[in-house]
Amino acid sequence: MKLGFYEKVLVTGSRRFPEYVGRVGVVLGISEDESKVYGYSVFFPGEVEGLSFSPDELRGTGEFVDRSVFYDDKDVVRIRVDDGKGSLA
């Protein structure tokens, strides 16, 4: 089952980051295409940068945090895509 943005997740296993197994973080990024999720960017309380985990390394808790915990609602970036290239709108 696909995890959602801002969902709290439990790290159930990780070869690259074994010290994070058992910790709970929040999904702030999803690497995917139309048919497959490749990975999730997960942020942990008190840490500045997130870490990337594969879908089989995480379990969703079903609990979501408000976007405002991470982002100021007044800060908005809009991207326009023309011929497959993105630029600030």
**What pLDDT, in 10s, does the model give residues 10-37?**
999 999 999 999 999 999 999 998 889 9
pTM of the complete model beyond 0.75? yes
Cβ within 8 Å of residue 62, ≥6 positions away: 7
Task: Tell me what the mean pLDDT of segment 33-43 comes to.
Answer: 93
Any idea how long the chain is?
A: 89
Location of structure tokens 């999904």: 27
